[in-house]
Amino acid sequence: AIDYEKVDEHTKFLIFPISVIGCGKTTTSQTLVNLFPESWGHIQNDDITGKDKSQLMKKSLELLSKKEVKCVIVDRNNHQFRERQQLFDWLDELKEDYLAYDTNIKVIGVSFAPYDKLPEIKDITMRRVINRGNNHQSIKWDELGEKKVVGIMSGFLKRYQPVSLRRSPDNMFDLMVELDFGEVDSSLTNAKQILSEIHKAYPILIPEIPKDDEIDASFRKSLDYKPTVQKR
Ligand code: IDP
């Protein structure tokens, strides 16, 4: 029988964020991936252009199936139970198309938006998205205008279902990292907390936490990140 509890050097990891727009998912993900360029990958929902939404999971598993790749961040907001459930369903359905049947996968959740901070989150993310301007795959400030962008973002905040570990699907995560939200350097703080909690739970994935100045440099680089895919 396959022992799914066992974590060893063959174990692979997926990270599912839970967030609303502008909380720093992409910046935090880039900060982490830049630290482990060989063994970590990052697939962004905003880079998936076709009709088949499950491409997000297909591309993630394809990347994860590479021998040297140990962890892939499946970057989407997943702000509702339904979306988290969908990721687990896709994983179940598609896993064996990409990985050997006995591959053990651990799924780590990262919650970016604490429910009690939603008013602050709204303020800060709106300001950030204004500053991000047209530097995003699908949310273009110039074309949509302020009213539409505010509408899209407010919709996410209104529909947001924060993590609830006692119920399905959130009880399926093997580890949940619950981030705080602040204004200054929040993606740097996020990256450090994620590194520390994964290191503690799964030292096989992060045997040693990178030095502070390395994490800092990786964060600065990620703040300058420009997407390559344009949704038209
Ligand atoms: P998202 O992927 O959750 O929508 P990002 O694109 O990572 O969020 O971030 C939204 C905007 O906020 C981007 O312009 C990004 O550069 C900026 N940002 C992200 N993290 C920080 C931070 O820690 N400090 C300042 N600005 C940040």
ipTM score assigned to the predicted complex: 0.98
Query: What are residue 74's DSSP bridge partners?
Result: 43
Which of 27, 33, 228 best tests ligand 1's pocket when mutated (most atoms within 8 Å of CB)? 27
Pick from 138, 22, 159, 173: nearest CA to 79: 159
> Measured between alpha carbons, how far is 92 from 115 in angstroms, rounded to an integer?
29
Determine whether the shortest distance from the Cβ of 42 to ligand 1 is under 6 A.
no
Section 83-87 average pLDDT: 98
CA 50 from chain centre, in angstroms, equals 20
Q: What is the tens place of the pLDDT at every residue in 16-29?
A: 999 999 999 999 99
* Mean pLDDT, rounded, for 79-87: 98
Q: Is the pLDDT of residue 173 over 60?
A: yes
Pocket test for ligand 1, best of 79, 110, 152, 187 (most atoms within 8 A of CB): 187
Q: Does residue 24's CB lie within 6 angstroms of at least one atom of ligand 1?
A: yes
Please give the pLDDT value at position 17.
Answer: 98
How many of the other CB atoms lie within 10 Å of CB of 147?
Answer: 8
Which residue lies with its CA nearest to atom 4 of ligand 1?
A: 22
Cβ contact 90:43 at 8 Å: no
Helix (H) / strand (E) element for 43: namely strand 40-44
pTM > 0.90:
yes
Q: How confident is the model at residue 131 (pLDDT cuts 50, 70, 90)?
A: confident
Ligand 1 centroid – CA 225 distance (Å): 10
